[in-house]
Amino acid sequence: MAHLLPLWIVPLVLLAASALETAQPDVCDDAVGDEVAALQLKANHNSSLGEIDEMHYVIVEYHGIVAGYHTETMICPKAKFSRRDQEFLEGSTLNKMGGKIPEGWWKSWDVACTEIAYGKTSSPSGKPCSGVDFVRNRKISKTDTANVGGVISGPWKYLLGWGNKPVADMKQDVCGNGKGKLWSETAYDLLTNNCNRFTATLLKCSLHLNYKMEPPLRGWVWYLKFGYGTWSYAGIAC
């Protein structure tokens, strides 16, 4: 003979079953949430590694010329330097030296960088930013310069800092929004709109680094802050 449950028990059984059914998705949601969080953490970690790989050093070169100097900016990928070299560049010893990299160090580095410099050719163009060179695969160990002659001494190389801004963004900062007219070849002026003013503009307006570092040369041009060697004779406008 079958045993029938009392009618008052049936609602309790149905209520318990409903509670179990409702609770089960919560467990699944937690598991899915944990998995998504783990994947997001992994993605963030990989993204961070990517940013580290894209970090670069900003190194300014000084080339001695008659009565002054010519400057260029080298953008060098940090990942291409050894751990020992990275520790030296970012350590307190170089900082105490004013950022000046010993010649024995930079001459030993086989690292390809992007060289950024301003100048003009014998047949200058009036096209916006035509005077600015973005030359890839230039070794940091080089002693020549891409766009000026008459170098008589140097170079001296200084670490200004590091960051991860793409070179294309640097170009946009100095050449975009009508600013390129200032850096055409025909706009070049030996005293007021020269390579040093461009270097200072790039450092200040795009890379947000110190642009008033004193050059390694000495002489009346340096002391008077006038001529080839001036950073700010014509002012710097971002």
Question: Domain locations in the chain?
Answer: 55-229
Q: What is the mean pLDDT of residues 61-88?
A: 91
Q: How is residue 197 written in tokens? A: 């003013």
Per-residue pLDDT tens over the stretch 44-59: 333 333 344 489 999 9
* CB atoms inside a 10 Å sphere around CB 174: 21
Does the reported pTM lie above 0.85? no
Q: What is the mean pLDDT of residues 17-40?
A: 36
Tell me what pLDDT residue 50 has: 36
State the first-to-last Cα distance of the chain, in angstroms, to the nearest integer.
96
Whether residue 149 contacts residue 119, with contact meaning beta carbons closer than 8 Å, is answered with no
Which uninterrupted H or E stretch holds 162?
strand 153-163
Q: What is the mean pLDDT of residues 158-163?
A: 94
Residues comprising the chain, all counted? 238
Tell me what pLDDT residue 151 has: 65
Weakest mean pLDDT among 127-136, 139-148, 153-162, 214-223:
214-223
Whether residue 234 contacts residue 193, with contact meaning beta carbons closer than 8 Å, is answered with yes
Higher-confidence position of 147 and 79: 79
pLDDT at 35 over 60: no
The per-residue pLDDT of the chain, averaged, comes to: 75
pLDDT category, 98, cuts 50, 70, 90? Answer: confident
pLDDT at 107 over 90: yes
Per-residue pLDDT tens over the stretch 63-73: 887 767 889 99
Q: Each residue of 3-39: b (16+ CB within 10 Å) or e?
A: eeeeeeeeeeeeeeeeeeeeeeeeeeeeeeeeeeeee
Per-residue pLDDT tens over the stretch 185-215: 999 998 888 888 999 999 999 999 987 756 5
* CB atoms inside a 10 Å sphere around CB 205: 16
